Structure 1
Amino acid sequence: MEFNFYALLTAAVVTLLVGFAWYHPKVFGSIWMRESNLTEEDLKKGSMLKIFGLTYIFSLMITMTLMSLTIHQSGAIGMVGGPPLIANAKPSFAAFMADYGTAYRTFKHGALHGFMSGLFFALPIIGINGLFERKSWKYIFIHAGYWIVTLTLMGGIICGFA
């Protein structure tokens, strides 16, 4: 099973693209700024190159995790020791991959797993942080909603095209 690394690079861009729309003042940006106690002037501070660059690097890290959550064949590859040892795997591995190597490799399936990751992983983490930081439910749901949408799209791209 070969991977399309361009799909992973593309999926990592999703965090930026969804963020541009999600946090736009006409969508949730104004509410987010108010709930975060930020002003337009606050947002102009800092290096945007650094912020966007690190966001993309962190997003690449997320794609690696989502790949293992959305592409079930990753588990089978791990059982034989990973890509370097596939050539030495037993014939049963090749037979398994011939039968099931492309099973559940669709955008829809990946989107389902991405959505579940957002709902059952990102939401609780953001919720816990928000509660301890005494943030509002609006704040929590704005960020959690962003991650649910983002991980859904990323999961779909990774599973369908990687």
Structure 2
Amino acid sequence: MEFNFFAIVVAALSSFVVGFIWYNPKVFGTIWMKESGMTEEQGKKGNMLKIFGLTFIYSFMIAFMMPSIVIHQMGAMSMIGGLTFIETAKPSFAAFMSDYGDAFRTYKHGALHGLLTGLFLALPIISINGLFEQKSWKYMAIQAGYWIVILTIMGAIICGWK
């Protein structure tokens, strides 16, 4: 099982596609701006190179970790120490990978694990921050919803693209 760098990059870029739709004024953008206290003028003052550059780096970091969450075989791979130790792995590892090498490697299965990651990781983190920042439930729902959708898409791309 090889590491699919292109799937990671495409998954990271998916955050931009969804973000452009999600935060569009005709979708959740206007509500998000109101709930976050952001104005169009403030948004225009931002350093777009910095914002989009760091967004890609952070999205890449998230996508880079997603295989360990959405691909079951990564657990078996970690038991032998990673890709560099395949040659020295015991015969049981080769037998396992022969039997289960592509098991559950579908877009649908990856989307399921991405969805669960969004619901049980992103939603609580964003909601806890929102509670302490005294943000509205609308704000937390918009922010968490975005990450639930993104993690679902990332999971599908990374698990299904072999």
Specify if TM > 0.5. yes
Q: Which residue identity lines up with residue 19 of structure 1 in the other structure?
A: G
Q: Which residue identity lines up with residue 37 of structure 2 in the other structure?
A: N
Match of 1:103 in 2: 103
Match of 1:158 in 2: 158
Does 1:119 find its partner at 2:113?
no
Alpha-carbon shift at residue 147 of structure 1 (Å): 0.6
Match of 2:58 in 1: 58
Match of 2:27 in 1: 27
Alpha-carbon shift at residue 125 of structure 1 (Å): 0.5
Alpha-carbon shift at residue 114 of structure 1 (Å): 0.4
Q: Which residue identity lines up with residue 118 of structure 1 in the other structure?
A: G
Query: Partners of 2:4 and 2:121 in 1: how far apart?
Result: 26
Equivalent residues, number:
162
Counterparts of residues 65-80 of structure 1 (less than 5 Å): 65-80=65-80
* Deviation beyond 6 Å, 4+ runs, structure 1: none
Alpha-carbon shift at residue 5 of structure 1 (Å): 1.0
- 1:113-159 Cα offsets, whole Å, 9 max, x none, are 00001111100001000011000000000001101111100100000
Query: Partners of 2:109 and 2:125 in 1: how far apart?
Result: 24
- Listed as ranges, the gaps of 5+ residues in structure 1 are none
- 1:26-66 Cα offsets, whole Å, 9 max, x none, are 00000000001111000011211111111111111101221
Query: Partners of 1:45 and 1:84 in 2: how far apart?
Result: 47
RMSD: 0.8
Query: Partners of 2:143 and 2:46 in 1: how far apart?
Result: 21
- Percent identity over paired residues: 66
Query: Partners of 1:38 and 1:99 in 2: how far apart?
Result: 53
Alpha-carbon shift at residue 3 of structure 1 (Å): 2.2
Counterparts of residues 139-150 of structure 1 (less than 5 Å): 139-150=139-150
Query: Partners of 1:109 and 1:130 in 2: how far apart?
Result: 30
Match of 2:6 in 1: 6
- 1:58-85 Cα offsets, whole Å, 9 max, x none, are 1111012211000010010111111111
Q: Which residue identity lines up with residue 151 of structure 2 in the other structure?
A: L
